[in-house]
Amino acid sequence: MSNENYSLIGIYGGTFDPIHYGHLRLAEELNELLVLSKLVFIPSGSPRLRNAPVASKHHRAAMLSLAIQNNETFMLDDRELWRDGESYSVVTLREFRKEVGSECALCFIMGSDVFLNLSKWYCWQEMFELCHIIVADRPGYLSILNNKMPSELTEELKGRQASSIDDLKESPHGFIFVAPTTLQDISATVIRESIVANQSVRYLTPEAVLEYIKTNRMYSGKEWNLKN
């Protein structure tokens, strides 16, 4: 296939509860490295393999919007927030593939903590028919290539690991690329816990997101009962 005719689109799923500089810096580095035509953030509505998000769907989308507002390449896609039932990335990827056609590589981004659980995802192997998987190491989950990976994932990685970025341009889907990104020891859990403990979370997330959290008194207890 000619690699002149299609672009690379980044797809970044997560709870983003709240979005933070760990997410944003990773997205920026991957955008630069892979020369993405766009990078779409997709907040998950009801994730199947983890606790329900603390902040409402509305708040998580609003914070994400604020965080990416000055970046022309970054976009918010809220389709999973309003879909009924649990959020399955493969369903989103099927939709995306239909929308963009076959002449474009979809690059689904995840941290190594999430990658280690990939084989528990609904229809996880179908994802390789739809996208590449881009894995970024995360402090505490280093060396995803070590033998702590489930055997089915080790097998998949053996057969699919991209040797260079060029592989991602040769095919619209099917590779796993372990990206050389900078480790950022930031998590949404620590941000939420710090807010509850009345500790500073400044410089862990953009000022606009902090202001939003403050204005809406989020994560401090009072907002936890919001329904949507």
Contact residues: ligand ATP, CB under 6 A: 14-17, 22-23, 26, 110-111, 113-114, 136, 138, 184, 186-189
Of the pair 111, 172, the CB lying nearest ligand ATP is at: 111
For ligand ATP, which residue has the nearest CB?
111
Which of left, alpha, beta for 205 (phi over 0: left; psi -120 to 50: alpha)?
Answer: beta
Please name the residues in contact with 30: beta carbons below 8 A apart, sequence gap of 6 or more: 10, 36, 39, 107, 109, 134, 136, 179, 181
The encoded tokens of residue 177 equal: 């690329």
List 107's β-bridge partners, or say none: 10, 132
The residue among 59 and 138 lying less far from ligand ATP, judged by its C-beta, is 138
* Complex with ligand ATP: residue 17 or 80, whichever CB lies closer: 17
CB of 4 to ligand ATP, least distance (A): 31
Please state the φ and ψ torsions of residue 93, each to the nearest 5 degrees.
Answer: -65, -35
Amino acid at position 102, single letter: S
- Closest approach of ligand ATP to the CB of residue 182, in Å: 9
**Which residue lies nearer to ligand ATP by CB, 130 or 204?**
204
Nearest distance, CB of residue 23 and ligand ATP, angstroms: 5
The residue (of 63 and 136) whose beta carbon lies closer to ligand ATP is 136
Min. distance of Cβ 108 from ligand ATP in angstroms?
A: 9
Q: What does the DSSP assignment read for 30-54?
A: HHHHHT-SEEEEEE-SSBSSSPPPS
Residue closer to ligand ATP, measured from CB, 71 or 189: 189
Q: Report the candidate in 13, 32, 36 with the shortest Cα–Cα distance to residue 168.
A: 36
As measured in angstroms, the least distance from the Cβ of 126 to ligand ATP is 19
Q: Work out how close the CB of 206 gets to ligand ATP at its nearest, in angstroms, rounded to a whole number.
A: 15
C-alpha 205/C-alpha 219 separation (Å) is 14
